[in-house]
Amino acid sequence: MWLLVFNKNSPKGKEVVSNEISKKRVVVTGIGLVSPLGNTTEDTWAGLLAGRSGVDYIARFDTSRHKVKFAAEAKGFDPAKFVEKKELKKMDYFIYFAVAASREALEDSGLKVTPENAEEIGTYIGSGIGGFSVFEREHSKMLEGGPDRISPFFIPASIVNIASGYVSIYTGAKGPNSATATACSSGAHAIGDSFRIIQRGEAVAMICGGSEGAITPMSVGGFAAMRALSTRNDDPQHASRPFDKDRDGFVIGEGAGILVLEELDHAKARGAKIYAEVVGYAMTSDAFHITMPDMDGPRRVMIKTVKDAGISPDQVDYINVHGTSTPVGDTNETNAIKSAFGDHAYKLAASSTKSMTGHLLGGAGGLEAGITALAVHRQILPPTINYETPDPECDLDYVPNQARPAKVTYALSNSFGFGGTNAALLFKRYDG
């Protein structure tokens, strides 16, 4: 809403319109997680606190001709528990995961979508790649039998915004309906943009986050061809080792992280449980290289996010870092944190949950935002596992190998993607 203020210096004190907008406060009231550690939020959280690796040999396809034979699959996930049988063939895995996580998040929040409030509740779900498995399947069918063999569901099963579309249909939410495709920043951008939508008063609640289902022959082969993946085929569970001196690449994962964001007064009026308040968000670009990270973009996105929240850098207690386990990426992020926070960088904690979940690509920002909100709510920091040999260039407190109770008032969640796109979200402990 526009604010009306009196300008004492204007003739007769005439009323003038300020160009500032009254910002609504936004809180997290629901969390839904599907990950390599479990198909629910609580199972995922239990795996994180136990320091359990979700990485193993790939079961979904034959890897005999692949250089990399392991990934972090969402084991035991049954889409038929969340989607009607007749609808299954119309979807890709990234849609399955998004629907499952959204249903859990909405149920967790206790928010009911009704004909009366449907237009005030929206969906915003990102994915970096979308329907990769559908692309591969339908391409093979075309090569074998011609274009007439292509399924009529091919296009709607594969395009990125369909996850948000299905969640809108299943929940009845008729407010803003959008999607992001900003590589590994997709989920974080979707949550940040939803935060802004509620701040501006354009919705009272948003079902938002990220989802990815890209553990497929082409995807794994493509990332391996880039030399981005770990090749620790003899020891998959120790392959994802962010900030460790012997790290050799990331481990691809799958799943979804969905949050229900809600305007504070609306949440309080219905007596909702509140996990945390969202107080800051920013995005930046490296303007440097398509795949190679640069320190400046991540540094600026953290500074801008903290500034957006109106706090000082030394008030941040914890960062759920991007921390992918790549040699250059982890050093780059460490240097960005030290540049953004100065001496305080050595006082805050900065753990990488990708050490356990692998890297969910476009779903990572959603999953890790949910984990960060839980860390703030439950005052426990998840660890960075497989941290065995310190790297002199990575010398921060990465919460090595064991979860840690801690006082956390402000926590940051970082997401950086190919193309030089960066996002950060800042959560605050809600005390009523």
Active site residues: 184, 322, 359
**Any alpha helices (H) in 21-82, and if so which ranges?**
41-50
Among 400, 403, 428, smallest CA distance to 413 is for 428
CA distance 252 to 361: 7
> In Å, how far from its chain's centre is CA 219?
19
Cα dihedral across residues 96, 258, 163, 281: positive or negative: negative
Pairing of strands 410-417, 421-428: antiparallel
Backbone angles phi, psi at 246, to 5 degrees: -95, 15
Residue whose entry in the numeric block shows the structure tokens 């690509």:
361
Number of alpha carbons in the 13 Å side-chain half-sphere of residue 61: 16
The total of other beta-carbon atoms located within 10 Å of residue 402's CB is 13
Q: Which amino acid is at 272?
A: A
Token representation of residue 315: 């008030």
Residue 282, classed as helix, strand or coil, is: strand
208 contacts 171 by C-beta, under 8 angstroms: no
413 contacts 382 by C-beta, under 8 angstroms: no
Any residues with CB less than 8 A from the CB of 77 and at least 6 apart, and which?
34, 39, 96, 97, 100
Among 223, 238, 227, smallest CA distance to 55 is for 238
Backbone angles phi, psi at 139, to 5 degrees: -65, -40
DSSP-assigned letters across all residues of 203-272 = -SEEEEEEEE---SHHHHHHHHHTT-B---TT-GGGT--TTBTT---B-BB-EEEEEEEEEHHHHHHTT-
427 contacts 276 by C-beta, under 8 angstroms: yes
